[in-house]
C-alpha cells in the first residue's frame, strides 16, 4: 500500500513538473511572440480553462499526498527516505503551491480584470506588468516541482519494499 501511495505521490508531482516545464519551454515562448492583445486574450483564456477538476487533482494531490507519505515512511522507520520526502514536501508547499498561490494566482486575477476593449497602450502596459513576473514565477515553480519529483524518486529508491 505504501509503494502505491508513493507512486501516486510521485505521479501527481511529476504531472505538475511536466505542466510547468511545458509552459517554460514552449507555451510561454510561443505566447511571447503574439501581439499584446492576442497575448492578453490567450492568457485570459488559458487561465480560465485551467481551473478544472483534472488540474486541481494534479496540483492539490502533492499538497496532501507528500505530508501523508512522509509521515507513513517515517512511521515505517525508513528515516533516510523520510528525510527526502520531508524535503520534497517543503519544496512543493513553498516552491510550487506557495509560489502559485502567492504569485501566479494574484497575477492571474489581475489579468482577468483587464478589459480587452482598452486602448493599445493600456493593453501593452498591462502585459508588461504581467508577462515577465508571471514567467519568472513559473520558472521557480518549475524548478521546485522538478526537485520535488527527484526527491520522491530518490526516497522510493532508498526504500526496502
Give me the domain span that covers residue 51. 2-158
pLDDT at 161 over 90: no
Return d(Cα 98, Cα 116) in angstroms, integer: 29
Question: pLDDT tens across 106-132, in order?
Answer: 999 999 999 999 999 999 999 999 999
pLDDT, tens digit, 9 for 90 and up, residues 133-155 = 999 999 999 999 999 999 999 99
Torsion of CA 67, 72, 74, 79, to 10 degrees: -90
Overall number of domains in the chain: 1
pTM of the model: 0.95
**Contact between residue 62 and residue 13 where contact means Cβ atoms under 8 Å apart:** yes
Amino acid at each position: 500500500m505504501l509503494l502505491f501511495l508513493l507512486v501516486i505521490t510521485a505521479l501527481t508531482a511529476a504531472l505538475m513538473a511536466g505542466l510547468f516545464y511545458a509552459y517554460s519551454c514552449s507555451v510561454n515562448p510561443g505566447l511571447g511572440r503574439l501581439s499584446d492583445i492576442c497575448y492578453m486574450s490567450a492568457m485570459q483564456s488559458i487561465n480560465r480553462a485551467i481551473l478544472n477538476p483534472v488540474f486541481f487533482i494534479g496540483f492539490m494531490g502533492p499538497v496532501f499526498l507528500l505530508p501523508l507519505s512522509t509521515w507513513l515512511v517515517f512511521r515505517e522507520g525508513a528515516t533516510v527516505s523520510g528525510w527526502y520526502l520531508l524535503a520534497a514536501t517543503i519544496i512543493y508547499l513553498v516552491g510550487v503551491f506557495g509560489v502559485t498561490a502567492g504569485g501566479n494566482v494574484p497575477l492571474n486575477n489581475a489579468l482577468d480584470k483587464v478589459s480587452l476593449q482598452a486602448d493599445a497602450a493600456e493593453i501593452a502596459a498591462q502585459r508588461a506588468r504581467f508577462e515577465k513576473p508571471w514567467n519568472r514565477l513559473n520558472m521557480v515553480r518549475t524548478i521546485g516541482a522538478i526537485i520535488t519529483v527527484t526527491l520522491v524518486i530518490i526516497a522510493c529508491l532508498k526504500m526496502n519494499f
